[in-house]
Every structure is written in C-alpha cells, then in structure tokens.
Structure 1
Amino acid sequence: MSDAAARILLLSHSHAFGPFRVGSHHYARTLAESGAEVVHLSTPVSLAHRVTGRIDAHTLATLPRGPMRDEAGVTHLVPRTIAPVPYGRFRVDRELRRHGIAERFDAVLIDQPLLWHESVRALTGRLVYRPTDMYPDGVKHAQQQRIVAAADAVIATSSAVLRALGDLTLPTLVIENGVDAERFTASSAGGARELLCVYVGALDGRFDWNQLGAWARQHPDVRFIVAGPGQAPAPLTSNVEMLGAVDYDQLPALLQQARVGLLPLSDDPLNAGRSPMKLYEYLAAGTAVVTRETPVLRADAVSGVYTYRDGADADAALRSALAHPSPNIAGMRRAAAESWGAKTAQLQRFVFDLTQR
C-alpha cells in the first residue's frame, strides 16, 4: 500500500494547544503534509485536573471540545473525562466512535502509556510504541509493559530510553527528536550577539535552579532569560529575567537574539534518557549550547555544544559557549541535518515495512 494515503493515529501525552510542541505534534504535521490522514489524540483533561487547578480556566478555554482539523490537515482530539486515565471508563476506540471517526488505522503510534487499553490493539495491524521517557515504576511502568507485550515494534527517542525497556524480541529503532529548522533558523547570520543566555522549556524537577543561579552570580555582565510556565523557588539575581510561558510562534525571535542556549539538567534520573528538542532548536537559531552531559547529550565543540558533569566544570562550559563564534553557523548546519522531515521519512519506512497482523 502507499503510505502517503495511510490513516495514522497518534496517541500522545501532550495536546498541541499550549506553549510547547512535542515530537508527536511534529510527526503529525509532517505526515499530514505528505498526504496521510492523521488523527492526533492526547491525554484527556479530567474533572480532577480542572478542580485541582492543574489546568486553569484560560487554558481549558483554548482546547477544542471535539475534533479540530488544523491547517496542516491533522485532526486533533483532546478528550474530557471525569476521572484521569487510566482510571475510569475512557477508551480510545469509544472516543473515536463518539465523534464519528473511523476506528481502523494503517498504523497507530502511542507514546502515552496512560492511554493504553487492550482495545487499542484492534485499531490497527501495525501498533508501534514510541517511548519518550523512562518509567521505572508506577502506573506508567505497568501500562508500558502491557503496550510492549502487545506492540509490533518500538521506536524510542534515545538509546537510554530503549535500554530501559529491557530485552526485547520485537523490531526496534531509535529516532532522536528533531527540529523544525526552517522555523528556527535566522534569515540572516548578522553580527555577534549580545551576552544573552536563554532557557526555554518546563520548569519542573528536571531543571537545575541552583546551577542557573550559580551561572548568574558568576557572570553579572551576562543576561539570563528563562521562558516557561512557573516561578523560581527562590529569589534570583537581577540579571535573570523570568518571562513565563512564551508562545511557540514567538520562540524563534527570542532564540535568535541569544548567544547561548541553556539545558541545566538536574540530578533527576529521568534526565538520562531525554532527547530534548531544545538542543536542535537552539542550534538552528544560531546559539551555542551548554548542557549537562548525559548518555544522550554529548559535547561537540565544533558545533558549539559544550557539556559539564557537575557544578565544578559548569562555569568553564558556559565560558566556552560564550566565546564560541556568534552566531553559531556550524551549529545551524548540524541542526539542518536533523529536520523533522528526514526523521518522519525514517519513521514511515520503518513502520510500513512491518508485516500487518
């Protein structure tokens, strides 16, 4: 069959109506642009989320109440439930049926373990688990084991995430996260940029506030901007600016001002398997990058990627990044080779080479 005419369902942990874009959003867009019929269904917003304030009224108002087809041709579904998944009665097949969406797909890719129910297996002859994180215990771990037992293949976002699944007998592939290079690359290289370091992303337990504070104190002549929903746990020096959440469409302009993009990862063991999209978004925008070293994130001084292991060598890594040629043309070239288009083509070849059940 022609994969350009395929029907593909992505079961994702994140909807596409907030400040962040995740891999499933980019795959959905690129697959739809190639001619596939794509449905993107994300984690339901439950009554419990609304009552406890985990999702505020403003965000809730931006979410469609039924299927919403975007300009790329992707049909998005953000279900609403009483109880959080996997508790309660929610099932993907019932949600599709409720909205009149045909329940048979040429391929189903699932990255949200909480959306798993054995009925998902009946939706397709090609079921692919696409883990984006490590789940060493808890409900997601149990759900993940059930998915792996039922799946036809696994596409992991890093080798560390794949290894965490244990010994597997089914086909596997690692495709690290990519970048929408055309969106983030500056139209003109311009001159050397000001001493500005930027972090964009989540501000949860995987972010190292102590390291950010140390950098800011060690470099009072450098501006630091933190863009993401949340607040600092303690007061920061005057050269640190908290922007709050920044719309995805505004990120390129922000990053194209910066000399350095920051990935100050904490000691959280889940960071070991992360394949942050920000790495290539930073590079595409012409910044050098400073990141804590992990099994996935390694130094590449030629491309302007500098790593550190702990606080003892973090300052040296930042100094090297600040001294890297600006804008970072070599980094822009590296990012261009990591486009979502290339990664989607790789994913399509792998998925549609699978024998249908």
Structure 2
Amino acid sequence: MAETLTIAFVSHTDTSGTFRVGSHHLARELARFGHRVLHLSTPVSLVHRVLRRGEPTRDEASRRGIVTDADGVMHLVPRTLLPAGIGPLSFAPIFTRAFRTSSIDLVFVDQPTLWSNELRRLATTVVYRPTDLYEHGVKARLQRAAVAAADRVVATSGAVLTALGVPASTPSLVLPNGVELERFILTEDDVREDRAVYIGALDDRFDWNAVREMALRLPEWTFDIFGPGQAAPESLPANVLLRGPVSYDDIPLILRHARIGLLPLSDAPVNRGRSPMKLYEYLASGLAVVTRETDVLTDDPDTGVVSYGRSRSAADAIHVATASASPNLPGSAAAAAAGWSEKARTLIGFATGGAA
C-alpha cells in the first residue's frame, strides 16, 4: 500500500439502525486497506430530541461520541442545535478529535444537507458522491453547491451523474453499489421455497400496488415484506406477510429460503437513478429479481432480472420470474464481480490518482 490517508465519509445513514448503505461498506474496505477512516452521518439535533423525532438508536449513538468498530472505522453521529440543512455543522473540531488534526487528505460527501465550504478548506481532495436524484428543495440547492466545489464526482448511476450537470473540467465516475460477498453467498444448505421477498424501507419509494398485483397473480406463493416505515394499505392479499424490520445480520438466512427478490419501486423521481444494493444482495444469494424498470434497472434475462412497467405488468413479470432456475447461478456469478473490496479500490484510485 502507498501512504496511509486520513479519510472522512460525510454520509446520511449511521450504522446504529436497520440499514447498511454504500458508505458503510466503502469505509470498512478502505480501513482494511490501512487508511484511517471516519464515518460521520446526519446529526441528531436538539429539535429532533425535543420533539422526539427519529430512531431512538440514533439518539443513543449520538451520546456515545466517536466509536471505533472491529474493522478500525471510526463512527460518529454528531449532536447539533439545528437540523442538517438549516444549521451548519462544524467539521474542524470533529476531524481534530478523530485524526488529531483538522486537515485531512480526503472527504467523500453523499449527504447534501451536510455540505459546507469548510470541507473545501479542510480536505486536500473533496469528492461528491451522490446516491440519489434531488430535483427540488434544500437538498437540490446544496447538491449544486457541492458539485460546483468538488474536485471529483462519483455517482452510483449514469442517470444520477447526467442529472448533476457536472462541469466538463471536473473528473467524474459512475460506480454502482456493490455487495458484501462473504456475507451473501450460496451454500449447500440453502432450502428454496416458493417465496418472494422484499427487504428495505416502506416509504414513498415503495409501490404497494405492484406487490398486490404480483401476490394476486401467484396466490400459492408467499410474499415476505421486511422493513420499517409507513403502515401497509388495507386489503392486501392474505399471502402478503408483513414481517417488520430485520437486522442486517439476519438477511442472508432469509434470502436463502426464497426464490425471488423484489424491487417494487414507486414512480417517485428519486427512484429514477437509484442503484439498489439489494439488487446485488439478491443476486449473490441466488435469487431471481423482479424490479420496476427505471433508467438504471432493466430487463436482463442472462442474470435472472425481470423488469416491469414499460413492456409488461408486475403480474406478468413475477410469472416470468417463476420459470427461472433456483438458485439463480448466473445471477450469483454476475454479483461476484460487484464486491465492495474492488469497488473501494476503484474509488480510492479515482479519488487519489492511484493510491489504494
């Protein structure tokens, strides 16, 4: 390895809750490469604490200060007076506590509400790493500022990169999300049942109507829906089972008992450019995948991905997917090329011009 770098991820999601996101995996891999890495996520503000908004686990994490995990990544959920995007976060004292200096080598920013020109002053290299499309509001405004100031831009999909309007003079890269291969892997003990599974947030990005349509088409199948969020609509078919949130550690076992992974994306604009990690986790686990077709997610019969929305209905797509061999060995093989270690190596190489 070349020199040890001081690296900060300024991200939207911390590791205390249900979800794991790309910045968590990239931070882990860069720490394993020998770099000093801080993962900093959206603060818990006094406003949130007074109104008791947000997950209790985030408030608990914010009380602990900087915590170092088993891979050597430092994690921090800051505590602030005002919410992100309204009140500024002071990065210099945070970096000083983590690295004993306020000046660091590299910062990756994927939470636009935490963008600050202070990052430009403190970091030798600033990389803006958007994971979603923001068309309006505070996030869109701060994202424009981040893109204008960044040394480099890394987007998780071509659709996101195109929408950003990155200046021609700014180097850019499309680096889709990946999969933790050692966790999501086929085993000889896998027992496949006629189950379709979704694991993720149940919010405005999720399409209950598509799930209903698929479940009605396959009444003999079980549709397991895992995740926190909004209450489900009434009168779902009896074969749709709401399982609630699930730990990241428990996901592999769940997937090993299913045949099809679901990505029932709504028509929310933010979904147009998403690169869902769940796609690669489903594939690595040997599942066929049924997904709404977007600018990023399309039909791919060679890897067992079946899309709907443009050329077929959700009901027809799930019917087609049932004919896929189980386990989905071509899909698993395709996912093997999307491991986070190689993603991290590509990322750090692009950001630094060759360091790993």
Q: TM-score range by the shorter chain?
A: over 0.9
Q: Distance in 1 between matches of 2:53 and 2:154?
A: 30
Give the distance between the partners of 2:120 and 2:354, measured in 1 at CA.
Answer: 15
Contact 2:218–2:319, Cα closer than 8 Å, also in 1: no
Alpha-carbon deviations, 1:168-214, whole Å to 9, x = none?
A: 220000000000011011222756x2110000011111100111111
Deviations 1:66-99 (A, max 9, x none): 1000000000010011210122342222333466
> CA contact under 8 A between 2:62 and 2:78: conserved in structure 1?
no
Query: Which structure 1 residue ranges, 5 or more long, are not aligned?
Result: none
SS in 1 for 2:183: helix
Q: Which moved more, 1:92-101 or 1:175-184?
A: 92-101
Q: Is 1:50–1:56's contact at 8 Å kept on the other side of the alignment? A: no
Deviation at 1:354, TM superposition (A): 8.4
Change beyond 3 A, Cα 1:140–1:289: same
2:7 matched residue in structure 1: 8
User: Structure 2: 5+ residue runs without aligned partners?
Assistant: none
CA spacing shift, 1:195–1:91, aligned 2, 3 Å: same
Q: Which moved more, 1:52-61 or 1:68-77?
A: 52-61
Partner of 2:105: 106
The separation in 1 between residues aligned to 2:55 and 2:234, in whole angstroms, is 24
Distance (whole Å) between structure 1 residues aligned to residue 353 and residue 98 of structure 2: 31
Deviation digits for residues 14-68 of structure 1 (CA, Å, limit 9, x no counterpart) = 1111111101000000000111100111110112223434324355335552100
TM-score by length of 2: 0.94
Q: Could you say which residue in structure 2 is the equivalent of 1:322? A: 322
**Per-residue deviation, residues 99-150 of structure 1 (Å, max 9, x unmatched):** 6742221111100111111111112111100011111111111111111121
- 1:14/1:154 CA distance change after superposition, 3 Å: same
| Cα distance, 1:119–1:270 mapped onto 2, change above 3 Å | same
Equivalent residue letter for 1:90: L
Query: What is the SS of the residue equivalent to 2:182?
Result: helix
Match of 1:31, as an amino acid? L
1: CA distance between counterparts of 2:195 and 2:32? 36
* TM-score for the superposition, normalised by structure 1: 0.94
| Amino acid aligned to 2:212 | G
Aligned to 1:144: 143
Hey, what does 1:294 align to over in structure 2? 294
* The 10-residue stretch of structure 1 (97-106 or 248-257) with the greater mean CA deviation from structure 2: 97-106
Letter in 2 for 1:80: R
Cα distance in 1, alignment partners of residues 19 and 253 from structure 2: 16
Q: Which residue of 2 aligns with 1:172?
A: 172
Tell me by how many angstroms 1:278 deviates: 0.4
Q: CA RMSD in A?
A: 1.9
Residue 51 of structure 2 corresponds to 52
Residue equivalent to 1:280? 280
Provide the aligned length of Structure 1 versus Structure 2.
353
Paired position in structure 2 for 1:263: 263
Match of 1:206 in 2: 205
Q: Which residue pairs with 2:85 in the alignment?
A: 86
Aligned-partner Cα distance in 1 for 2:312–2:145 = 42
Counterpart residue type for residue 228 of structure 1: G
Letter in 2 for 1:134: L
Contact 2:61/2:77 (<8 A) preserved: no
Q: Is the 8 A contact 2:148 2:166 kept in 1?
A: no
Q: Is 1:33 the equivalent of 2:32?
A: yes
The aligned residue for residue 340 of structure 2 is: 340
User: Partner of 1:117 in structure 2?
Assistant: 116
- Stretch of structure 1 that moved more, 92-101 or 251-260: 92-101
Contact kept in structure 1, 2:147 and 2:166, CA below 8 Å = no
Q: Distance in 2 between matches of 1:6 and 1:96?
A: 13
What SS is found at the alignment partner of 2:266? coil
Please name the residue that 2:351 is paired with: 351
3-state SS of the aligned residue for 1:233? coil
* Corresponding residue SS for 1:148: helix
* Structure 1 residues 57 and 21, CA gap change in structure 2 (3 angstroms): closer
2:195–2:223: 8 Å Cα contact kept in structure 1? yes
Counterpart Cα distance in 1 of 2:151 and 2:354: 8
User: Does the alignment pair 1:228 with 2:227?
Assistant: yes
